[in-house]
Amino acid sequence: MSAELSPIDKAKFVAAKRAVDYVEDGMRVGLGTGSTAAWMVRCLGELVREEGMKITGVATSSRTAELARQVGVPVSTLDDVKWLDLTIDGADEYDSRLNLIKGGGGALLMEKIVATASDQMIVIADPTKQVETLGAFPLPVEVIPFGWQTSKALIEEMLGNFDVLGRTTSLRLANDQPFRTDEGNFILDLHLRKIGNPQQLSLALNQIPGVVENGLFLDICDIIVIGNGDGSVEVRDINNGTVEHEQIDIIDTDNLFVDIAD
């Protein structure tokens, strides 16, 4: 089955496989959302099924929780476990300081809560997600439905005070209807192209009435595992200042791929 994977899926898989090496028996693990995080959940499921590893997962979305249960990873709530040993998640964009944009999958609120309730956050990604300056990927901002157009107008007005290249905002849609998060909120996508000062922008966005959270994950990620289509990975540890390169064996393992929806 692995021979049929595209280079990008191989990159996601090897990043996920390397990242689960950080998971130890008995840990409480935050489970990210998105296509790359789905590979990580599958890898954890294999550890649970094949090696008998005991872990407790806290999912960042309903679809991640469903996938975790499918592959045999026990799922609990953050309220029940209180604190997590680590979280493994993907990213839509990352820079050299491991600052991130997340929320392309619409789960940024739960993702940020879970990540900040963890001793360590590990991000899994491929090289196409790296940028010199954040902002090429539209920045998601979660807003409550009530008065969302007012929130949108306030955001657009506020952006005039910031070092960005674009100020277009759009309501995210799904089947011609507003996309709704697991919490029932809307998402505004900010097409900024460049974010000159992410810290200031993040603080300003969260001061706007109606804004629940934004997709800037700043000073949260500790380690990033970057996978490549040839099976190699690069592991950057921001705290230790180390960069390691490894080769991951891609073996044929039907249990990892069969009958599981992404």
Name the stretches of the chain with pLDDT < 70. Answer: 1-3, 251-262
The angle that helices 7-19 and 35-51 make with each other, rounded to 10 degrees, is 50
pTM of the model: 0.93
Q: Report domain extents, the chain.
A: 2-129+219-257, 139-213
The amino acid sitting at 234 is E
* pLDDT at residue 4 in the model: 78
CATH of the structural domain 2-129+219-257, one choice from 2.70.150.10, 3.40.309.10, 1.10.10.10, 3.40.50.1360? 3.40.50.1360
CATH 3.50.50.60 fits 139-213, yes or no: no
The per-residue pLDDT for 219 is: 97
pLDDT of the residue at 256:
55
Which residues in 40-57 are b (16+ Cβ under 10 Å) and which e?
bbbbbbbbbeeeebebbb
Task: Give the active site residue among 46, 93, 111, 142.
Answer: 111
Instruction: Clarify whether 111 is annotated catalytic.
Output: yes
Tell me what pLDDT residue 250 has. Answer: 77
Within this chain, domains 2-129+219-257 and 139-213 share the same CATH topology? no
